Amino acid sequence: MPFDLAPIRSLPLPDPVKETAIANLNRWLEDDEFAGYRPQLEDLAEREEWSLLVDSFYQDLPFGTGGQRGSVGIGTNRFNPSTLAGSIQGHVEYLKHQKEEKGWGELSVVLAFDVRQFNDSKGQYNADIPNPVLGLRSRDFSRSAAEIYTANGVKVWMLPEEEELVLATPELSFLIRNLGAQGGLNISASHNPPDDNGAKIYNYTGGQEVPPNDETMVKLVEQVDEVKQMDFEEAKTSGLIAWVTPGHRQAYIDAILACSLQPEKRDATVVFSPLHGAGKSCAARAMEAAGFNVIRVEEQWANDGDFPTVPGHVANPEEPPAMVLGAQKAKAAGADIFMATDPDADRMGAIAPDSEGNWHFLDGNQIGTILTYYILSTKKEQGALPSRPLVISTEVTTSILGRISAAFGARNINDLLVGFKYIGDILKQIDETGGWEGNAFEIDDYVFGTEESHGYLVTHAIRDKDSAGACLLLAELAAHCKAEGSTVIDYLNNIYSEFGFTRNLLISVGLAGAEGKDIMQRMLNSYRENTPAKIGDYDVKEMLDLQDPEVRFGPIKSKTDRASRNVLVFYMQDGKKGVIRPSGTEPKTKIYFEATGQPGDGQTLEELKASIDASLREFAQVFAEEMLYRADITPDTPGVKVSGIEALDKKLKFAEFMEE
């Protein structure tokens, strides 16, 4: 049934957006390759779901800071076997390109997948007609990728076919290095909602590519006009598929256990939840192997991509609702700490009690602060600090890390773009060149890496964020504090007393659909064209445009570099900070805020916290309103969702929230 395209052209969108969507729609309607999708597309047209169709086709699903990720569905801007196939064939071409440069022999990749399955929870498609994407699991996408790699002569390392097995992101990063592979792929959408999925592509170091190398890969993906593919059963008999063994996975656990700082400190009760994901195979296994008393949250132990026991079905340990069930069990058990990991187990979150038995949510910056101080102070006491200790963090991660690092003679590289791949890239540069930006480092100088979104890395044997090492050391610290008659919360407050209290706050401005991308860019361009001297009653000291070649990173290296550097940093006269950054993987703009201070005469730490929190809330509110105003929208504009301050309240009052 032909489309009547007039309704699409009448939508209030830029003409290029509409015309690209129409062209892509026509291709999917006319090409036999996409015949299986046609019934659903025709049904959407009959139901006049024009905005959904445009959003599904106005662009190719892009690569962001975490790779290719988005809603599973039908269209060029959806994750499905067709969009994945082009990415995998492009990755093959990129591996061949690198093979010539580096003189590699046989090419091999490691494949991983999480627990997801597409069930169309939003009910966007017609359940009464065929739908090729309905029911697709991460495992299924992984098999499809294996068929493409092997058809191109690339050896694949992957999990055996037992249904219960999944492989965590940090295990994948480790195995790439351990098996001597040239790349890797994880089919995962991390902590996104259940109907999302994605392809996280890794390089030979176990990290993800940064500009301009990622741009080279993107261009090769764009140039793909034919995908080679063989049947999976044929691939197995070809000798190009090898299975990841229990021994391979044990090597990862051994690498994590080697990071222990105080192996004698094991007297801590830890409640742990994988939130239905892969964390039980890495974080829980490492803590159990180390000798901790780990109490499992049994309701959340089984693999389940619908995340049925997690409020809102969003298994993100950055968010208080996801942590309530485990925290309640930890409180009932009299535990010393509760920890949880997201579905692909690269992130972790924690809840801990204070000396009075009140339970507190620890945000990503606080966990990073605790681990930075614990690692540096313990290594110093043991005489194990390297000569040039190195702590690495990103632009939007708490500034207290710099003050802690300086106290121990460590260098804190703290101005990186958002994305853990930039931390991994510094390790790559140190490995291959013996330094970074003219500074000499050895790889063993690396002490710790962290980003505010609950990502931590305690060993250079892995090149992406890793929940297991962070969980192990945080459990160890809980045991250390218990032995001294204190708590992890006391430990954090002591750090604040010494180095100043620092509060970080993240606000997200959700902008749905194809319209959102245009609005996001209008926001940032407005600041570039008319930099404010004041935001509300707050004086702007300086605004940095990270796309400006004179500011920090030099000339733009590639389109992907330009996108990653689409960041504005505001330093205020009173010491506050605000950073605007459109997300690379989600339809939202993120604004990161920070305020810090030392207790004044007669002022307690708790009074300082309350004062800074109130001031930062006010600043964040004014900042967000001014930003929306520049895009000619308000929080009440359809499709706009502003969130963040209420999440901070839930974190600050978690003891009350978990009782509701």
User: How many residues are recorded in the chain?
Assistant: 660
pLDDT at 66 over 60: no
DSSP for residue 288: H
pTM score: 0.94
CATH at residue 565: 3.30.310.50
b or e along 554-569 (b: 16 or more beta carbons within 10 Å of the residue's beta carbon)? eebbbebbebbbbbbb
CB 617 within 8 A of CB 645: yes
375-421 per-position pLDDT tens digit: 999 999 999 999 999 999 999 999 999 999 999 999 999 999 999 99
Same domain, 510 and 448: no
| Averaged pLDDT, 50-71 | 83
Instruction: Look at the block and give the residue holding tokens 């700082």.
Output: 261
Lowest mean pLDDT among 213-217, 270-274, 425-429, 490-494: 213-217
Q: Alpha-carbon distance 71 to 209, whole Å?
A: 23
Which of 206, 205, 202 is CA-nearest to residue 68? 202
Total structural domains in the chain? 4
Structural domain that includes position 525: 501-657
DSSP per residue, 136-194: -BHHHHHHHHHHHHHHTT-EEEE--S-TT----HHHHHHHHHHTT-SEEEEE--TTS-T
| Averaged pLDDT, 494-499 | 96
pLDDT at 183 over 70: yes
Q: Where are the alpha helices (DSSP H) in 292-362?
A: 320-333
Same domain, 311 and 209: no
Q: Longest C-alpha distance within the chain, in Å? A: 77
Q: Where are the alpha helices (DSSP H) in 310-448?
A: 320-333, 364-381, 400-407, 421-433
The residue among 499, 534, 567 that closes a domain is 499
Same domain, 123 and 168: yes
Pairing between β-strand 67-71 and β-strand 196-202 as defined by DSSP bridges: antiparallel
Q: Alpha-carbon distance 78 to 76, whole Å?
A: 6
Is residue 585 very low, low, confident or very high in pLDDT (cuts 50, 70, 90)? low
Same domain, 599 and 525: yes
Same domain, 358 and 389: yes
Burial of residue 447, with CB atoms counted within 10 A of its CB: 0-12 exposed, 13-18 middle, 19 or more buried: buried
pLDDT at 1 over 50: no
CA 447 to chain centre: 21
| Backbone phi and psi for residue 584, each to the nearest 5 degrees, phi listed first | -85, -15
Same domain, 495 and 512: no
CATH at residue 174: 3.40.120.10
- How high is the pLDDT of residue 642? 85
CA dihedral 405, 411, 416, 418 (to 10 degrees): -30
Is residue 559 very low, low, confident or very high in pLDDT (cuts 50, 70, 90)? confident
| Averaged pLDDT, 429-447 | 96
321-379 per-position pLDDT tens digit: 999 999 999 999 999 999 999 999 999 999 999 999 999 999 999 999 999 999 999 99
Percent of the chain with pLDDT over 90: 81
Same domain, 440 and 551: no
**SS3 (DSSP) at 390:** strand
| Backbone phi and psi for residue 392, each to the nearest 5 degrees, phi listed first | -120, 135
Both structure tokens of 596: 């810090």
Helices 645-652/605-630 angle, 10° precision: 160
| Averaged pLDDT, 258-286 | 97
Give me the chain's average pLDDT, please: 93
- How high is the pLDDT of residue 163? 72
| Averaged pLDDT, 520-544 | 92
The amino acid at residue 338 is: F
Same domain, 634 and 544: yes
Pairing between β-strand 577-582 and β-strand 568-572 as defined by DSSP bridges: antiparallel
Same domain, 67 and 51: no
The residue among 12, 33, 58 that closes a domain is 58
CB 489 within 8 A of CB 547: no
The residue among 58, 89, 105 that closes a domain is 58
Same domain, 222 and 329: no
What are the residues whose beta carbons fall under 8 Å from the beta carbon of 603, sequence distance 6 or more?
Answer: none
pLDDT at 604 over 80: yes
| Averaged pLDDT, 465-486 | 98
Instruction: Identify the active-site residue in 190, 260, 393, 564.
Output: 190
Is residue 63 very low, low, confident or very high in pLDDT (cuts 50, 70, 90)? low
DSSP per residue, 397-413: S-THHHHHHHHTT-EEE
- How high is the pLDDT of residue 550? 93
Same domain, 239 and 141: yes
Pairing between β-strand 337-341 and β-strand 293-296 as defined by DSSP bridges: unpaired
| Averaged pLDDT, 225-245 | 95
Active site residue 138: no
Is residue 218 very low, low, confident or very high in pLDDT (cuts 50, 70, 90)? confident
Is residue 646 very low, low, confident or very high in pLDDT (cuts 50, 70, 90)? confident
Which of 169, 24, 174, 16 is CA-nearest to residue 86? 24
122-176 per-position pLDDT tens digit: 999 999 999 999 999 999 999 999 999 999 999 999 999 887 789 999 999 999 9
- How high is the pLDDT of residue 2? 57
b or e along 181-218 (b: 16 or more beta carbons within 10 Å of the residue's beta carbon)? bbbbbbbbbbbbbbbbbbbbbbbbbbbbbbbebbbbbb
pLDDT at 64 over 70: no
Both structure tokens of 475: 């459990």
Same domain, 90 and 33: no
Q: Alpha-carbon distance 660 to 657, whole Å?
A: 5
